[in-house]
Amino acid sequence: MAKVAFIGLGVMGYPMAGHLKAKGGHDLTVYNRTAAKSEKWAVQFGGRTAATPAEAADGADFVFCCVGNDDDLRSVTTGKNGAFETLKAGAIFIDNTTASAEVARELDAAATARGAHFIDAPVSGGQAGAENGVLTVMCGGDPEVFERAKPVIDAYARMVGLMGPAGSGQLTKMINQICIAGLVQGLAEGIHFGKKAGLNIEKVIEVISKGAAGSWQMENRHKTMNAGKYDFGFAVDWMRKDLDIVLTEARSNGAKLPVTALVDQFYADVQEMGGNRWDTSSLLARLEK
């Protein structure tokens, strides 16, 4: 049993912290900006709450974090009352936020300066993956530090991989989002075409999902896409934040991402339709407009 802190009890962080307590059996202290959520979490799982990230991290062996973007991450780490004020020597800070590789390298240097360690560990698998404790975790950091952190991360994960030094987890998550962007647009166009052709979409997917076109998105999203339901899942606003990180990184490493850049603009159209919180599969709604 380790002394663990968790910062950021959102859609993802709340159940992930729950698994660290209930499945991992660790001694948990949680912090959330909106205190009502951390109080609710403590009642449900039986851990302690802290008033600031610094208070949560004080004395912890492992400090987890899952907030929104780079600025939120800086605020809860190196900002006033941030976790890095109290992060002890030898402690490991594990960041599950989807953020830039640049902020990961920056926080790795800041943790090292304190004699502590940093692992960027963005996740894939969505709200259901977090609730069921079966996330895919893409890590960047030192191999020895990773070996110490992995058994703790395992509490909410099905797959945990070390991809390289600090920032490599975030770079891997960028590849994940590049692959999803083009794939979801292809799926939306396929369903759109099938409807125009007068085919039974359920029947079409039942057959082609077993062939070379099959994918997680096809299996898990075709029913709701066919029904025009998007009020759930991974929000378009989050996807645009992720694609901005991807396209910024591509400008610096020279990668050519024409389809990703185009799909990013399609998501901007969905936002204009009022779909900020719709699931990313809402690219179909744009075609049907």
Ligand X SMILES: NC(=O)c1ccc[n+]([C@@H]2O[C@H](COP(=O)([O-])OP(=O)(O)OC[C@H]3O[C@@H](n4cnc5c(N)ncnc54)[C@H](OP(=O)(O)O)[C@@H]3O)[C@@H](O)[C@H]2O)c1
Q: Which residues bind ligand X (CB under 6 A)?
A: 8-13, 32-34, 37, 66-68, 72, 75-76, 97-98, 123-124, 126-127, 234, 238
For ligand X, give the closer residue by CB, 13 or 133. Answer: 13
Q: How far is the CB of 268 from ligand X (least distance, A)?
A: 17
Q: Which of 80, 88, 150, 173 is catalytic?
A: 173
DSSP letters for 228-278: T--SSSSBHHHHHHHHHHHHHHHHHH----HHHHHHHHHHHHHHHTT-TTS
Report the distance separating Cα 24 and Cα 28, nearest Å.
10
- Torsion angles phi and psi, residue 140, rounded to 5: -130, 135
The encoded tokens of residue 49 equal 């709450």
For ligand X, give the closer residue by CB, 84 or 238. Answer: 238
Whether 219 and 209 have beta carbons less than 8 Å apart is answered as yes
Report the distance separating Cα 54 and Cα 75, nearest Å.
11
For ligand X, give the closer residue by CB, 204 or 283. Answer: 283
Report in angstroms the alpha-carbon separations of 31 from 5, 10, 28, 38.
8, 11, 10, 6
What type of residue sits at position 113?
A
For ligand X, give the closer residue by CB, 129 or 194. Answer: 129
Q: How far is the CB of 34 from ligand X (least distance, A)?
A: 3
What type of residue sits at position 197?
A
Report the distance separating Cα 285 and Cα 216, nearest Å.
19
Annotated catalytic residue 173: yes
Q: How far is the CB of 233 from ligand X (least distance, A)?
A: 7
Q: How far is the CB of 289 from ligand X (least distance, A)?
A: 25
Which residue number has the CB closest to ligand X? 10
Beta-carbon contacts of residue 41 (< 8 Å; ≥ 6 apart): 9, 14, 17, 18, 30, 32, 47, 49
Q: Angle at Cα 63 formed by Cα 86 and Cα 246, nearest 5°?
A: 115
Q: How far is the CB of 104 from ligand X (least distance, A)?
A: 12
- Torsion angles phi and psi, residue 114, rounded to 5: -95, 0
Neighbours of 84 (CB within 10 A): 22
For ligand X, give the closer residue by CB, 138 or 285. Answer: 138
For ligand X, give the closer residue by CB, 234 or 267. Answer: 234
Report the distance separating Cα 43 and Cα 173, nearest Å.
33
Q: How far is the CB of 40 from ligand X (least distance, A)?
A: 11
Which residues form the catalytic set? Answer: 173
